[in-house]
Amino acid sequence: MFFVPAWISNLLLLITCYISGYQLVQLQRPNPLVVLQFYMVLFCLLLMVMVALYNRVNPWLSLGFFVIAVINISTMLRQNRYLPPRRRIE
Does the residue 89 lie in any domain?
no
Does the residue 30 lie in any domain?
yes
pLDDT in tens, 9-62: 999 999 999 999 999 998 888 888 888 899 999 999 999 999 999 888 888 898
Does the residue 86 lie in any domain?
no
- State the residue range of the domain holding 59: 6-79
pLDDT at 13: 95
Does the residue 84 lie in any domain?
no
Does the residue 47 lie in any domain?
yes
Does the residue 85 lie in any domain?
no
Domain count along the chain: 1
Does the residue 90 lie in any domain?
no
* Spatial separation of the C-alpha atoms in residues 7 and 23, rounded to whole Å: 24
Does the residue 48 lie in any domain?
yes
The b-or-e profile of 45-63 (16+ CB within 10 A means b, else e) is eebbeebeeebeeeeebbe
Q: What is the pTM of this model?
A: 0.87
Is residue 88's pLDDT more than 70? no
